[in-house]
A and B are shown apart, each in its own frame.
Chain A
Amino acid sequence: MSTTKTSTMSMPQAAANPEVGSGTSTGTSPAGSGPGTATNAKPSDQRLFSLKKWNIVAMWSWDVECDTCAICRVQVMDACLRCQTENKQEECVVVWGDCNHSFHNCCMSLWVKQNNRCPLCQQEWMVQRIGK
Chain B
Amino acid sequence: MITLSKKLKEDAARKSSGSNSKSPDLNNSTKRVSIRDRLLIKEVPEMTSSLPKTCKVHFPDVHKLHHSLLTISPEEGYWKDGKFIFELTLTEEYNIAPPKVRCKTKIWHPNISEEGQICLSLLREHSMDGTGWAPTRTLTDVVWGLNALFTDLLNFDDPLNIEAADHYLRDKRDFEVKVQRYVRNYAR
- Which residues of A come within 8 Å of B, CB atoms? 2, 5-6, 9-10, 13, 15-16, 24, 28, 64, 67-68, 70-75, 77-78, 81-82, 85-86, 107, 110-111, 114-115, 117, 119-120, 122
Closest chain B residue to A123, Cβ basis:
B130
Q: Are B49 and A16 in contact (CB under 8 A)?
A: yes
Which secondary structure characterizes the binding site on chain B? loop
- The answer to whether B129 touches A9, judged by C-beta atoms less than 8 angstroms apart, is no
A70 neighbours in B (Cβ, 8 Å): 135-136
- How far, in angstroms, from A115 to B35 measured CA to CA in the complex? 20
Cβ contact within 8 Å between A73 and B39: yes
Roughly how many angstroms separate A50 CA and B6 CA in the complex, as a whole number? 22
Q: Is B38 an interface residue (CB 8 A)?
A: yes
> Which residues from B are CB-within-8-Å of A107?
135
B97 and A114 contact, CB distance less than 8 A = yes
> How many whole Å from B116's CB to the nearest CB in chain A?
24
The total of chain B residues at the interface (CB under 8 A) is: 30
With an 8 A cutoff between CB atoms, is B33 at the interface? yes
Contact call B96/A114, Cβ cutoff below 8 A: yes
Contact B8 A115 (CB under 8 A): no
B126 close to A71 (CB less than 8 A):
no
Given the complex of chains A and B, what is the CA–CA distance between A28 and B97 in angstroms?
Answer: 40
- Cβ-defined contact, A5 with B4, below 8 A: yes
